[in-house]
Every structure is written in structure tokens, then in C-alpha cells.
Amino acid sequence: MRHVQAPDPLSRAFFARSPIVVAEALLGTLVCHRLSGDGLLTATIEEVEAYFGPADLASHARAGRTARTRPMFGPPGHAYVYRLYGVHWAFNVVAHEPGEDAGAVLVRAVLPVAGVEAQRLRRARPHDRVERLGAGPGRVCQALGITGDDSGRDLTAGAPLWIAPPPFARDDDESREVLVGPRVNVAYAGEWADRPYRLGLAGSPALSRPFVTPSPDGRADSRPARHHRR
């Protein structure tokens, strides 16, 4: 396999902003995981969700600081990994402004870049198309080999797990356009369930599911919500 120069990690300051700002900034960036045996696995972030502090009824921080959620209340730029439905892992990046107590960005979908075959073999369904290997929070962790052991890890310190700036220019396609919608499966969160905190790259083949915005009459709109160009 071709040797790949490991890119530098994003700085602490990148993550020390509002979760929704960090969420949008993370689109197109590169998750890097160096694993003994598989070498360097990388994938671009295609879809994210922002979660705020205790006031956000959809956020794990709503219950306050617990053993599980401790990383969310810690310094920005660390990983928060938790078990979902007792089956899957989900990968978050801790992000909040200085002075705020908690916040994180859930990585819902990635597109494998380096170590694609290794990522394929890690998946329960290795026959999936590359574009679908990381299309969902659980799939992200399976493909990249991220587990609960990584929770609390500093993502700004480089190997073994870090996030690097976008590796590709996206000037000439519509992937720079950002889709916006409500977060997935947080209906229990009252008014917070409807807030537009799910972001994705328009035209990405790796989205976990389509973006659909509710229209004022309550029916689903057939067109995805469009955001400004970046």
C-alpha cells in the first residue's frame, strides 16, 4: 500500500466554539485512526449533529455529569464515545465555548479515504459499497475501529486518533452546500427535537438518510433544506 503522510490535527481552538459552529466546520474534515495491524484509517466527515449542554433535552448532558458523559463536560477537542442501543458505538467530538459546561458533535456519516479495504473488512457487511460503509453513527465506529476505549481521548494530540483539515477542495461540486434538518431519533426532546442541528454535505453518497424538512402544514417537504454556501 502507498505510504500516506499523516496530516496534522486540528487545534484546540477549532473545537472551543459553539457545537453548531464546530459541527458545520467539521464537514469535509478527515478523521484519522492509526491502528496496529490496519495502519492508518481515514475518512471524511459527511454528516454531523450538534448537541449542547444540560439545557438541550436531546443531549446526554441533560442528566448532568455522569461516568459516561464525563468527556462531554471536559475540554473541547476530546472524544466522547458511548454505546448505543446496547449494540453499536457512537463517536462524538467534544465542542463548546469557553465558559460553557458541555457540548459535542456526533459524527453520523463518513466517507472512507485511506485504508478502505481494512475499513470494509471491519464492517459486518463488507460487501457494502464504499459510500455506505460509514453511512450511520454505528457504521462510522465499525469502519474506523473506534470503541469505548477511545472515549476521553485527546483528538488534538495526533495519533492514534485525531481530526485533520479537509483533504480535498470541493470548489467545483455542490458538496460544499450544507443541508440542514432536525436531529435523528430525538422525538423525546420536546421543542429541542425540531431544531435544525443536523448538518450534511449536499450530494454526499454517504448520508445516513435523506434530509427532509417539515413544511408549515406538518407534511414532509420533498425538498431538503438548503443552507448557505460555505
For the bound state, the minimum distance from the C-beta of residue 172 to DNA, rounded and expressed in Å, comes to: 30
Please tell me the distance from the alpha carbon of residue 174 to that of residue 167, in angstroms, as a whole number.
16
Stretch binding DNA (CB under 7 A), from 6-14, 111-119, 163-171, 179-187: 179-187
Least distance CB 215 / DNA (angstroms): 19
Query: Pattern of binders to DNA over 80-99, x per CB under 7 A?
Result: --xxxxxxx-x-x-------
**Binding span for DNA by CB under 7 A among 8-16, 138-146, 161-169, 173-181:** 138-146
Nearer to DNA, 14 or 91 (CB): 91
Check binding of 195 to DNA (CB under 7 A).
Answer: no
Are 52 and 63 within 8 A, CB to CB? Answer: no
DSSP code of residue 114 = E
Query: Residues 1-40 vs DNA: string with x where CB under 7 A?
Result: ----------------------------------------
We find the least distance from the C-beta atom of residue 121 to DNA, in angstroms, to be: 13
Whole-number Å distance between alpha carbons of 96 and 206:
26
Task: Considering the complex, state which of residue 77 and residue 137 has its C-beta at the smaller distance from DNA.
Answer: 137
- Name which of 47, 157, 60, 155 is nearest 103 in CA terms: 60
List, in order, residues 6 or more apart from 172 with CB less than 8 Å away.
none
Run of H or E residues at 82: strand 79-84
CA 101-104-106 angle, to 5 degrees, is 165
Contact between residue 88 and residue 96 where contact means Cβ atoms under 8 Å apart: no
Residues that bind DNA (CB under 7 A): 49, 51, 58-61, 63, 66-69, 72, 82-88, 90, 92, 104, 106, 123-125, 135-140, 142, 183-186, 188, 208
